[in-house]
Structure 1
Amino acid sequence: MAKPRKKLPEKSVDIYCSKCNSQLFQYKKGGKGALVKCFKERITKDFTEALCTCPNCQQIFARDTLVRGTPAFKMIGGKVWFK
């Protein structure tokens, strides 16, 4: 499969924890669908201290994985929301 594009999308979204509403990432998202995965190279600001864990409520919201040979976070359904 093809790797994600090197050029970042223009649309930037803020990703929040669904339990405590604290901000987790600022991310350059492509497309208009649901947030299933976050490529690490597209994260512009990271507000987490521990990997895939909310800094406020300590909830695990994603899994560290490889998608199409690129490091990414695979989001757990219902744990995050974005705007």
Structure 2
Amino acid sequence: MAKPNKKQPTKTVDIYCAKCRCELFKYRKGGKGALVKCFKERIVADFTSIPCHCPQCGGEFARDTLIRGTPAFKMIGGKVIFK
């Protein structure tokens, strides 16, 4: 399968925990759709201390996985919001 585009999108979004509204990532997102996965190479700023867990409430919001051979976080539905 195809890898993600080498040229990263210019638009950055802020990703927050849906439960406590704590900021988790600044991420370069492409397209208009829902946030299903976050490729690790596109994360600009990471505010988490333990991967895939919210630093404030401790809830798990994603799972560490490989998508198309590239390391990524697969988001759990309803656990994160982005602006």
Aligned CA RMSD, in angstroms, stands at 0.4
5+ long unaligned stretches in structure 1: none
After superposition, what is the alpha-carbon deviation per residue over 1:13-44, rounded to whole angstroms, capped at 9, x for unaligned?
A: 00000000000000000000000000000000
Secondary structure of the structure 1 residue equivalent to 2:50: coil
After superposition, what is the alpha-carbon deviation per residue over 1:31-71, rounded to whole angstroms, capped at 9, x for unaligned?
A: 00000000000000000000100000000000000000000
Q: How does 1:1-83 map to 2 (within 5 A)?
A: 1-83=1-83
TM-score (norm 1): 0.99
Of all paired residues, the percent bearing the same amino acid is 73
CA distance in 2, matches of 1:49, 1:20: 16
5+ long unaligned stretches in structure 2: none
Task: Give, in angstroms, the shift of residue 6 of structure 1.
Answer: 1.2
Aligned residues: 83
TM-score (norm 2): 0.99
Secondary structure of the structure 1 residue equivalent to 2:41: helix
Task: Give, in angstroms, the shift of residue 10 of structure 1.
Answer: 0.9
Give 4+ residue runs of structure 1 displaced > 6 Å after superposition: none
